[in-house]
Amino acid sequence: MGAANVDKAKGRVKQAVGDVTDNDELEREGKLDEASGKAKDTVGKVKDKAEDVVDAVRDKVESASDKH
């Protein structure tokens, strides 16, 4: 389980406990943790896409230089 998933799960648990115990501060912390996890997920996906683009460009450059 990656850090993003841990943050999201931790956030959901805090929100649930905060809701049950009527603790607004704990609910807010949970929402922040969950949002942090979602942000980490997004950053990870963008990073993966960028690496894919770099690899594709590198492959094309190498392919073009092999033809000469």
Please write the tens of the pLDDT for every residue from 17-68: 999 999 999 999 999 999 999 999 999 999 999 999 999 999 999 888 877 6
pLDDT at 8 over 80: yes
CA 23 to mean position of chain CA atoms:
27
* Nearest alpha-carbon partner for 29 in 41, 17, 11, 6: 11
Domain ranges of the chain: 3-67
